[in-house]
Amino acid sequence: MKRALLSVWNKEGITDLALNLHQAGIEILSSGGTAKVLTAADIPIIEVSEYTGSPEMMDGRVKTLHPRIHGGILGRRGVDDGVMKEHGIGPIDLVVVNLYPFEEMTRQSLPLDELIEFIDIGGPAMIRAAAKNYRDVIVVIDPADYPAIMDAVSSGRSFAKEERLSYAMKVFARMAAYDGAISNHLYSLEEELPSVYSVQFRNGRMLRYGENPHQVAAVYGEKGVGGTHPLQGKAMSYNNYLDVDAAVALLREFDECAAVIVKHNNPCGVATGDNIHETYIAARDVDPVSAYGGIVAVNREVDVDLAREIASTFIEVLVAPSFSDKAREVLKTKENLRLLQLSDPVVDAAVRTIDGGALVQITPAMREEWKVVSDRDPTADEEAAMMLAMKVCKHVKSNAIIFADNSRVLGIGAGQMSRVDSAKIAISKAQFPLAGSVVASDAFLPFPDTLEVAADAGATALIQPGGSIRDNEVIAEANRRKMAMIFTGIRYFRH
């Protein structure tokens, strides 16, 4: 390696890398802000403008777009040597470049005329050229890779073809994401969702199999549930990730101490309380048969009491913001139990594939507008129970019917074609009396029949979006049975 080109927006680690290259006798070309940083550190460099004989121009828009730069990167050793010599083009063996932060700048709500200046031109051209010629040129775009480069340079080790290719692959993945971000932003200037939508998921990890053993699967992601790795236990499965995602989404509905248990992507137990140990027991007792082998998510630290309770039965995954040292010692006895640290939420569009395409959905911040439509107002306890029931209802497969009191769910009916059948299932699953409970529905009641079934089971209040052409009939039945009923105005179908 004789010559390197360094031109980076993110200056992290660049001085250490440049010093390493200089000490190894490698000539350094640089430009713009990078050249200033290296010069200030007393590291000898050659300005790109001096090397090419052409000045930087157009406010820095044109500085590396020159045959002596791109010829030095693209020239095939042993093939283009004569042409390179004829035109005074020296080989560039290492290209270290990262790009203008377009994605970051889009979050600052800049006017388009300002934002457009953060669309990098020279950087992408150089790294694409280097990646194309990876057999002869090493290309580095990630500061995390600098230590490996420095180790190789210091030891005089050559780079294997596979290693060079791995760096090139990073380039094309980065360019796909970068161009996708630009495309999405520009297309979305006139539409909330662009007519052309690009998406990229990184950090792919193979899973043992998919939903079933005959299916091949991987998980992708760097943040949120997709980027989570177990603190202990077996590797996560495809179904584990789906269930953890469902459990965490529901858990985030609660600020108060809460426990959520999920089985096959639906909650089977939810409770709130004063301490996490008792709250978990209350959630488990909602449906103890279904809770066995489920996913448990809590929003308080796992203490030793809860750890012992968890260790006394079988669950697949335990998710929590933290675990006490004593709790970790107890949970180590369950070697296969996966422990996950509760991740910060990632707000992004939801993408689901369908045959030949994808559905993309954005969920904006919204506020239910509760309106009492019955003759009787709900009591304070009924209102608290309604709040709990509706939080859970959002996260249950449609048609969803939830019975609850003011601290826990009592019965869950999920995924039925008939709303009445969902209500009957919720009633049949209940482990506790439903007298005095409330019931929530994810969508309007098209007929009074669901309310009738709920009232016959003991429910005294009902919350639903409203909006049926037969709302008046449902309201009349609620009044006849002296039930309190609230309309929220927002439907929560979940398919």
Residue showing tokens 């296969």: 336
Residue 113 CB coordination number (10 Å): 7
Tokens coding 166: 């791995």
Residues forming a β-bridge with 139? 95
Residue 271 CB coordination number (10 Å): 25
Which residues are the active-site residues? 132, 264
Tokens coding 443: 């969508």
DSSP string, 122-162: HHHHHHHHHHHTTTT-EEE--GGGHHHHHHHHHHTPPPPHH
| CB contact at 8 A, 229 and 338 | no
Residue 462 CB coordination number (10 Å): 29
| CB contact at 8 A, 491 and 394 | no
CA angle 483–488–489, rounded 5-degree value: 130
Burial status of residue 82 (CB atoms within 10 A of its CB: 0-12, 13-18, 19 or more): exposed
Torsion sign across C-alpha atoms 473, 478, 482, 487 = negative
| CB contact at 8 A, 464 and 446 | no
The span from the CA of 247 to the CA of 236, in Å, is 15
